Amino acid sequence: MSYCLNPSCPKPLNHPKAKKCRACGSKLLLRNRYHLVKGLGKGGFGATFLAADLSLPGQPLCVIKQLRPNTDNPNFLSMARELFEREAKTLGKVGNHPQIPRLLDYFEDRQQFYLVQEFVKGNNLQQEVKKHGVLDEKKARQVLTEVSIILRDIHIQKVIHRDIKPANIIRREIDNKLVLIDFGVVKNQVNTIAAGNGDQTALTAFAVGTPGFAPPEQLAMRPVYASDVYALGVTCMYLMSGKAPKNIESDPLTGEIQWFKYIDVSDEFADILLTMLEVSVKNRYKTADEVLQALDMTEHLDDLSHSMVGFSSDLSEDKGNSGSHGQVASYSSRRTTSSRSRDQMGTRERTGSRSRANPKSRRNDSASRNRTASRMGTTRNTSERNNRGNPISRSQGRAQSQGRSNRVDSTGKNPPREIKKPIKVDRQTLLDSYAGGRRDFAGKDISLQNLQKANLSGSNFHHSRMIKVNFQGADLSSADFTGCDLRQGLLRNANLGRSYLSYANLEGTDLRGADLSFAHLKNTKLKGANLCGANLTSANITEEQLVLAKTNWTTVLPNGKRGFW
């Protein structure tokens, strides 16, 4: 078939050998070279066609995009022409990328503008989902990685795509590579100029992005590189759920899309998607390169978690094998304890220098030391009571005594230190122990456990390994998490009031809606922690820590006021 380019033609389809349109009389061959085979799509500001280039051997197929401003305003046409040429050059530069269609030609014909690009044969990701179903996490991660690499390369060229969506990502049939199509830069630039000159036509509201995929700042005509990151996050959400964003409800307070109920996804990948889908640009990944770094980090953590094999899955197994399992604490715990000891020594030195100059300070320091000694004695007595009759503790003592006596081998040299893993504790064992009156779980490995809505208030988790633990809605008030590794944890809506989190690692932890009032957060790592909606009233936390975390207008700051930090 031959296709007529006249926007007002009532019957654009014609016989393949026709020279002129039988309906409107328009010339069918564009620029005496391009034979339009069929229409691929149209909108209020243009149309896309599949065409054959008759001037080349084999008459290869190409894609022609027609930009047709529906106005006779000479000023507008002049601006459109200038911007069209400028953006065609930009597309020519970006089109050198192997996963972006090359720009083959651009020209003006009868006050309409044309871009001719390489034709990519294959199905787009929207078609793939409809044909084969949704993607699992592994495939979605592959798509996210591959498209992020393309975006990183075009962002380096100072180009924003503005219309990332499944329909604009084609899986190339020849090599199975993903190709990014349909850049909206030309249309958006024209619209911005038109709006600035008061020409309030349908053009000013067109092509700012696809509704549901475009973030708020892009809809406000202020796109940034992070706008493409948001749209790519929504694209992944669609690929894994099969649901368009308009069909998924959003949080009325934060505006966040409530996608997680439709997707089975790991905590690490969920955290990446959550950051990509942040409504506020401040809290979102700023560039595609940051997304790639996050993906590399989670893959590294996955490799570590697979390589770390504990000696036991819970305490009940340890009781039967106490001789080999309970010898020493983990290397990371000892290192953190040593670091904390050095910090305390430095603190004592500074305090001592102040005390020598101030008698009142000496009295206060003396009282403080007495209180500290009293607490240490209480802790030691409590620990002794808890461990009395405990075969694990007795075996630990024997093993440590044997270790001291055998510290030098037969050659007179110190043997290499053996690094032991912390004892793993499963959910049920932990809850049963707590119900039985036990509160001391220091130095344990509680990673990956689901402790949602558990009551563990007042517990001692000192230097425990708790990566990706689920404490959502749990009561952890007055608990001691000093030196704990809580990375990637889920503590949403948890009660952490008056808890001790000093020197803990909370990087990437979800603390949305958590109660952290009067919490001790001295030297706590909070990079990437999500504190949106959290209550930080009177919390011991610094400005430097808050800057590294994510906050929004629902966050209650230490001064009791709501707002961003």
Q: In this structure, what CATH number is given to the domain that contains residue 425? A: 2.160.20.80
Q: Is the pLDDT of residue 314 over 50?
A: no
Q: Is the pLDDT of residue 530 over 50?
A: yes
Task: Count the alpha carbons within 13 Å of 23 in the hemisphere toward its beta carbon.
Answer: 15
Instruction: Establish if 490 belongs to a structural domain.
Output: yes
Beta carbons of 447 and 466 less than 8 angstroms apart: yes
Instruction: Read off the pLDDT of each residue in 351-376 and give the average, rounded to a whole number.
Output: 39
Radius of gyration of the chain (CA): 32
Instruction: Establish if 344 belongs to a structural domain.
Output: no
Q: What is the pLDDT of residues 38-65, one digit of tens each?
A: 888 876 567 889 999 999 999 999 999 8
- Give the DSSP H or E segment for 14: strand 13-14
Dihedral over Cα of 294, 297, 303, 304: its sign: negative
Q: What is the pLDDT of residues 399-438, one digit of tens each?
A: 343 444 344 444 454 544 444 568 899 999 999 999 999 9
Residue-level pLDDT at 43: 62
- Give the DSSP H or E segment for 396: helix 391-405
Q: Is the pLDDT of residue 538 over 80?
A: yes
Residue-level pLDDT at 474: 95
Claim to verify: residue 34 and residue 156 sit in the same structural domain: no
Instruction: Read off the pLDDT of each residue in 513-518 and give the average, rounded to a whole number.
Output: 94
Residue-level pLDDT at 70: 63
Query: Into how many domains does the chain fold?
Result: 3
Claim to verify: residue 93 and residue 194 sit in the same structural domain: no
CA–CA distance, 104 with 56 (Å, rounded to integer): 12
Our measurement of the distance from residue 358's CA atom to the centroid of its chain's CA atoms, rounded to an integer in Å, reads 51
Q: What is the pLDDT of residues 450-465, one digit of tens each?
A: 999 999 999 999 999 9
SS3 264: coil
Which of residues 86, 118, 150 is at a domain's end?
A: 118
Claim to verify: residue 186 and residue 295 sit in the same structural domain: yes
| CATH at residue 237 | 1.10.510.10
Comparing 153-167, 176-190, 214-228, the range with the smallest average pLDDT is 176-190
Instruction: Read off the pLDDT of each residue in 483-491 and give the average, rounded to a whole number.
Output: 94
Residue-level pLDDT at 508: 92
* Per-residue burial over 247-257, b = 16 or more CB atoms within 10 Å of its CB, e = otherwise: ebeeeeebebb
Q: Is the pLDDT of residue 343 over 70?
A: no
> How much of the chain, in percent, has pLDDT values that exceed 70?
71
Claim to verify: residue 550 and residue 450 sit in the same structural domain: yes
More confident residue, 81 or 179: 179
Residue-level pLDDT at 59: 92
SS3 180: strand
Residue-level pLDDT at 96: 81
* Per-residue burial over 193-203, b = 16 or more CB atoms within 10 Å of its CB, e = otherwise: bbeeeebebeb
Claim to verify: residue 71 and residue 133 sit in the same structural domain: no
Placement of tokens 């031959």 in the chain: 2
Which of 53, 163, 475, 510 does the annotation list as catalytic?
Answer: 163
Q: Which of 65-69, 152-156, 229-233, 556-560 has the highest mean pLDDT?
A: 229-233
Residue-level pLDDT at 461: 94
Claim to verify: residue 111 and residue 130 sit in the same structural domain: no
Beta carbons of 36 and 51 less than 8 angstroms apart: yes
More confident residue, 285 or 204: 285
Instruction: Establish if 463 belongs to a structural domain.
Output: yes
Q: Which domain holds residue 31?
A: 2-118
* Per-residue burial over 43-65, b = 16 or more CB atoms within 10 Å of its CB, e = otherwise: eebbbbbebbbeeeeeeeebbbb
Claim to verify: residue 239 and residue 217 sit in the same structural domain: yes
> How much of the chain, in percent, has pLDDT values that exceed 90?
42
Which of residues 118, 148, 180 is at a domain's end?
A: 118
Residue-level pLDDT at 301: 52
Q: What is the pLDDT of residues 280-294, one digit of tens each?
A: 899 999 999 999 999
Return phi, psi of residue 166, to 5°. -55, -35
Q: For residue 8, give the amino acid letter.
A: S
* Per-residue burial over 82-112, b = 16 or more CB atoms within 10 Å of its CB, e = otherwise: ebbeebbebbeebeebebbbbbbbbeeeeeb
Read off the pLDDT band of 264 (50, 70, 90): confident
Instruction: Establish if 44 belongs to a structural domain.
Output: yes
Claim to verify: residue 265 and residue 298 sit in the same structural domain: yes
Instruction: Establish if 166 belongs to a structural domain.
Output: yes
Claim to verify: residue 150 and residue 93 sit in the same structural domain: no
Residue-level pLDDT at 540: 93
Instruction: Establish if 448 belongs to a structural domain.
Output: yes
Per DSSP, 102 falls in state P
Instruction: Establish if 399 belongs to a structural domain.
Output: no
Q: How far is CA 329 from CA 308, 336, 393, 420, 430, in A?
A: 15, 11, 12, 7, 18
Which of residues 118, 143, 158 is at a domain's end?
A: 118
Read off the pLDDT band of 258 (50, 70, 90): confident
Residue-level pLDDT at 302: 54
Q: Verify whether residue 267 is a known catalytic residue.
A: no
Tokens of 471: 């404490």
Q: Is the pLDDT of residue 90 over 50?
A: yes
Read off the pLDDT band of 184 (50, 70, 90): low
Q: What is the pLDDT of residues 103-129, one digit of tens each?
A: 899 888 877 888 899 999 999 999 999
Claim to verify: residue 151 and residue 292 sit in the same structural domain: yes
Claim to verify: residue 229 and residue 167 sit in the same structural domain: yes
Residue-level pLDDT at 262: 86
Instruction: Read off the pLDDT of each residue in 129-134 and give the average, rounded to a whole number.
Output: 95
Instruction: Establish if 228 belongs to a structural domain.
Output: yes
Claim to verify: residue 34 and residue 46 sit in the same structural domain: yes
